[in-house]
């Protein structure tokens, strides 16, 4: 799970659309993980997640699997959904 610059995403469009599944998330949205411990935000590969867990998997259900790429924290991390700028 790589880290990308936030300049490419419109975080004001980030939604708490937490009922969404990987399959219902529209393709111009990107999935970001936010670290509870250090507040780092990293981009996740939603397509890789969909391949692994299936398109009916609720995004929220994967939160406990998030691990921060900066500090390694695995507790209380959450997802954000942001619209990708074109």
The contact set with Zn ion (CB under 5 A) reads: 35, 37-38, 40, 68, 70-71, 73
Shortest separation between residue 35's beta carbon and Zn ion, angstroms? 3
Which residue lies nearer to Zn ion by CB, 34 or 82? 34
Query: How far apart are CB 25 and Zn ion at their closest, in Å?
Result: 23
Q: How far is CA 43 from the centre of its chain?
A: 6
- Give the DSSP letter string of the chain: -----GGGEEEEEEE--TT-BTTTS-TTEEEEEE-TTT--EEEE-HHHHHHHH-TTSBGGGGGGG---TTT---SS-EEEEEEEP-
Residue with Cβ nearer Zn ion (58 or 78):
78
Minimal distance, residue 5 CB to Zn ion, in Å:
17
Comparing CB distances to Zn ion, the nearer of 51 and 71 is 71
């Amino acid at each position: 799970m790589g880290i990308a610059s936030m300049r490419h995403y419109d975080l004001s469009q980030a939604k708490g659309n937490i009922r969404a599944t990987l399959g219902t998330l529209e393709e111009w949205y990107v999935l970001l993980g936010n670290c509870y411990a250090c507040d780092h935000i990293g981009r996740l590969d939603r397509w890789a997640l969909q391949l692994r867990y299936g398109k009916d998997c609720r995004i929220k259900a994967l939160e406990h699997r998030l691990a921060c790429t900066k500090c390694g924290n695995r507790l209380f991390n959450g997802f954000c959904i942001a619209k990708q700028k074109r």
